[in-house]
Structure 1
């Protein structure tokens, strides 16, 4: 189970780090033009903040345990990312973008599995 949690956390970290850095470094207009039309509903600062949260959450999935510095933070990072995906799904539903909801739900479930595993049976 520990190996499965590491694999899931690693995949989530890659996905959230890439998405977060893209949101944090690209202008809001460029994100909207590339298909992230939800970005037009938020200020540029909010989009960058969402990106920062995702990137920091990705680092929080791996670094605390890998460096053995407060490894309990892994479960909290996974919880935060799960909450972020609840917000993402809500935004997509509110905008009528039903096709964008399933990826958010998959990431939500994976983050919830990591949180459950690291808070419970496979805590560090």
Structure 2
């Protein structure tokens, strides 16, 4: 079970470290081609989402790795489920029906949360 957690959580963490890091360092103009929703919110909110994503990715990996507060891994995974439900809502509100990635991330984060229960 722990091996499955590391595999799934590692992939999820890689996705969010990259996605969050991009939101933290790129300008609105450089984000727009891959994230049309950035025009609908202040850049501070985009940066905040990026920070949450990077911190959540660390929350998936560091607590089980160090043995310190391993319940944070479950919290981080559940946080990603909530984040993607909100992201799906933003996409649908903007008329963007391309939500397959969001739904896939919800499923992966939910599996990660289920596997994270093993760390408790």
TM range (shorter): over 0.9
1:52 aligned residue: 51
- Structure-2 separation of matches of 1:36 and 1:111: 21
TM-score scaled by length of structure 1: 0.91
TM-score scaled by length of structure 2: 0.94
1:26 aligned residue: 26
2:8 aligned residue: 8
Question: Among residues 91, 106, 123, which one is paired with 2:119 in the alignment?
Answer: 123
Structure 2: runs of 5+ lacking an equivalent: none
Using the TM superposition, give the Cα deviation of residue 117 of structure 1 relative to its aligned residue in structure 2, in angstroms. Answer: 2.4
1:73 aligned residue: 72
Higher relative contact order (CA 8 A, sep 6+): 2
Q: Give the direction of change, closer, same or farther, for the CA distance of 1:118–1:35 in structure 2 (3 Å limit).
A: closer
Using the TM superposition, give the Cα deviation of residue 94 of structure 1 relative to its aligned residue in structure 2, in angstroms. Answer: 1.1
CA RMSD of aligned residues (A): 1.1
Give the 3-state SS of the residue equivalent to 1:112 in structure 2: helix
1:103 aligned residue: 101
Runs of 4+ in 1 over 2 A off after TM superposition: none
